[in-house]
Amino acid sequence: MVRGQVRFRGIAASLLLVVLAWAGFARSQEATDSKPAESGEAHGRLVLVLPFENRSGDKSNDWMGSAFPDVLNRRLSSAGFLTIGRGDRLYAFDHLGLPTDLQPTRATAIRIAQTLDADYVVFGHFAKGTDANQLTAEVLTLDVSGLHLSEPIEQQGDADHLVQMISSLAWKVARQLNPALGVDEQTFIAADKNLHTEAFRDYIQGLVAADPKEDIGHLRDAVKLDPEFAPAWLALGRTYFADEDYDDAATTLGHLPADDPNALEADFYRGLAYFYTGNYREAEDAFAFVSTRLPLPEVVNNQGVAASRRGKDSGALFEQAIAADPRDPDYHFNLAIALAHRNDTAGALKELNEVLTLRPGDSEAQSYASQLKNPTSTGANPDPGHAVADTQGPLTRIKRGYSEAGFRQAAFELEQVQQMRLASLAPPERAAQLVRDGDQFFQRGLVLEAEREYREALKADAQSAPAHAGLAAVQERDGEADGARQEARASIQLAPNVPAYLVLARLDLQANQLSAAASDVSQALRVDPESASAKGMKLALERRGQTLP
């Protein structure tokens, strides 16, 4: 796919207007101008992580260099930063004529960052430690705008627990970039605690393999070893798609859960895979899933194209795509077809004229305009004012890729607008909304994001019992029993509630303290006699011979 130069800031400006209206958060210009910039504004939030240099003296460890940016990107994104993905990083290297395995100097790092409009560049190296299986890593952060290089951060760890080592390093980097970060190091480390070590190695080796057969082999091994590792499914699906194996691509990309952070990207390519195999209904559904959550113009356009192949009138979708990106001639071309099918020849010709203004050499648009000006050369619509199947005249045009930069930028900007909305609420209301957001993250298994929301809730309202209960559940998930008990008791002291009592019950059950667990469950049922979770704990205790007091 040929892409223009990647520029993050402003790349989704017109799209953002659509997102704001869609989300219902748009403010007047005066209100926006009077409000100071949020912490998520451009300065200090856009981060480029480069592969780490292998100084271990062992070429078989080269794959680890790409493991560092992969984990750092995922952790920093969860902590509220906008990170630049591998595809955009490789594009920048190619754009600057640099080899993909280059270990850049400070000057080169600045050039790369400027190409991608990054605020910070994170880079470093790793080497062998004192023991054979030990690694040491050092990371530096370059503030591009201030041309300031941070103090180095060092991290040691076991090569067999590389992900945990990098996660700990990521927490230190995040705290260096944002000292107010309200997430514990243990939450970073626990984020991938169940990830199979060999699956992660196969995943990274699949990403960096030069031979397509080799990368598919590694990625297949990764998903076999760890079927829950969504990034590996996405990478494998994207590889099948690139190889034009659309059936396997659609099946593979379908393995990602709908609430996974990568689900939108997966369904975009899944929609294309269905489209190329003629499964237009499935293609339309996949594009619709993405567009209802993040209405990028290319996604909305593709939803319209898939629908038009099924005989639907997609004019409204093409108009939405144009509103987000009026400079794309394909959207105008597609709207022209939709208008022509409605027998709105004047409107169709107006759109075709716009196509030719934007792309004067578009021969298909020229030919179609000639046909519309000479009605005898095209079949008449037997039902004027209503759509006909997309079989008369040219076909609507599909978009074969989306801007990864724009995709992440739009999502990030939407999050910032949500934060602006939250800032306008009274502290108790703000805390309650943050807790609801945290609960949703936690239910999806996004523990790091959940902890961030719960801690922000406590900043807004230190007396929020649900926020303390949420943190108790996070610390329980992280294996921090003492911290979980402390948060659960703090929550109960503020307001007795079922979630906090059940955290204590599970901890007591794990410690084989059945009587204490029964007391916790009994207290939970007093708060809510109909709680399904408390009733389930009651049955579990009874099966072990423990009755409630």
Element (H, E) at 372: helix 363-373
Q: Let me know whether 162 and 146 are in one domain.
A: yes
In this structure, the strands spanning 82-83 and 46-49 are parallel
What does the DSSP assignment read for 511-547? Answer: TT-HHHHHHHHHHHHHH-TT-HHHHHHHHHHHHTT--
Residue 545 structure tokens: 């011979």
Torsion (CA) 253, 255, 257, 261 in degrees, nearest 10: -40
The CA–CA distances, whole Å, from 70 to 60, 366, 411 equal: 18, 46, 19
Residue 423's SS3 state is helix
DSSP conformation class of 487: H
Structure tokens at 429: 């209301």
Q: Are residues 106 and 244 in the same domain?
A: no
- With cut-offs at 50, 70 and 90, classify the pLDDT of residue 43: very low
d(CA 60, CA 39): 41
| 37 pLDDT higher than 60 | no
Return the closest-CA partner of residue 188 out of 174, 209, 200, 199: 174
Q: Tell me which of 236, 255, 278 is where a domain ends.
A: 278
Q: What is the mean pLDDT of residues 333-344?
A: 95
Q: For residue 265, how many C-alpha atoms fall within 13 Å in the half-sphere facing its CB?
A: 21
Q: Is the pLDDT of residue 221 over 50?
A: yes
Among all chains, which residue has been given the structure tokens 């070590």? 197
Strand partners, 137: 126, 155
Q: How confident is the model at residue 549 (pLDDT cuts 50, 70, 90)?
A: confident
What does the pLDDT look like over 299-308, one tens digit per residue? 999 999 999 9
Residue 453: domain span:
411-543
Average pLDDT, the chain: 84
Q: How far apart are alpha carbons 33 and 35 in whole angstroms? A: 6
The alpha-helical segments, DSSP class H, found in 359-497 are 363-373, 404-423, 427-443, 447-460, 465-477, 481-494
CA distance 532 to 509: 18
Asked if residue 83 and residue 217 are part of one domain, the reply reads no
Q: What are phi and psi of 3, to 5 degrees?
A: -130, 150
256 and 167 in one domain?
no
The separation between CA 140 and the C-alpha centre of its own chain, rounded to angstroms, equals 25
The dihedral sign for the CA sequence 450, 441, 404, 263:
positive
pLDDT given for residue 410 in this prediction: 63
Domain containing residue 491: CATH number:
1.25.40.10
Over residues 101-142, the pLDDT tens digits come to 777 777 777 888 887 788 899 999 999 887 878 999 999 998
Q: What is the pLDDT of residue 515?
A: 92
431 and 472, same domain (yes or no):
yes
Among the three residues 222, 249, 278, which one is the final residue of a domain in this structure? 278
Beta bridge partners of residue 124, listed in sequence order: 139
Q: Are 352 and 336 in contact (CB under 8 A)?
A: yes
Contact 334, 340 (CB under 8 A): no
Q: Which of these three, 278, 296, 324, is where a domain ends?
A: 278
Rounded (to 5) percent helix, strand, coil in the chain: 60, 5, 30
Asked if 186 and 113 sit in the same domain, the reply is: yes
Q: And the tokens for 226?
A: 């760890």
Please count the residues of the chain: 549
* Claim to verify: residue 149 and residue 271 sit in the same structural domain: no
The tokens of 110 are what?
A: 């600045």
Say what the pLDDT of residue 42 is: 36
| Same-domain status, 227 and 87 | no
Asked whether residue 340 is domain-assigned, the answer is no
- CA end-to-end distance (rounded Å), the chain: 67
In a domain, 345, yes or no: no
pLDDT at 49: 92
pLDDT score for 378:
46
Residue 500 lies in a domain: yes
| H or E element in which residue 148 lies | strand 148-149
Residue 425: both structure tokens together: 């609420």
96 and 110 in contact (C-beta within 8 Å)? Answer: no
- Which residues touch 36 (CB under 8 Å, ≥6 apart)? none
pLDDT for residue 377 is more than 60: no
CA nearest neighbour of 474 among 455, 494, 456, 460: 455
In this predicted structure, what is the pLDDT of residue 306?
96
- Give the angle subtended at the CA of 53 by the CAs of 238 and 115, to the nearest 5°: 60
Give the mean model confidence (pLDDT) for residues 372-395.
56
Does residue 70 lie within any of the structural domains?
yes
Strand partners, 154: 138
Beta bridge partners, 158, equal 134
Assigned domain for 27 exists: no
Are 121 and 144 in contact by the 8 Å Cβ rule? The answer is yes
Tokens of 50: 């480069």
Together in a domain, 145 and 166: yes
Residues 54, 187, single domain; the answer is yes
Specify if 228 maps to a domain. yes
DSSP sequence for 335-349 = HHHHHHHTT-HHHHH
pLDDT of residue 10 exceeding 60, the answer is no
Give the model confidence (pLDDT) of 68-99 as tens digits. 999 999 999 888 888 888 888 887 788 888 88
Pair (186, 61) in one structural domain = yes
Total domains present in the chain: 3
Six token digits for residue 30 = 């005066």
Residue 50 and residue 189 in one domain: yes
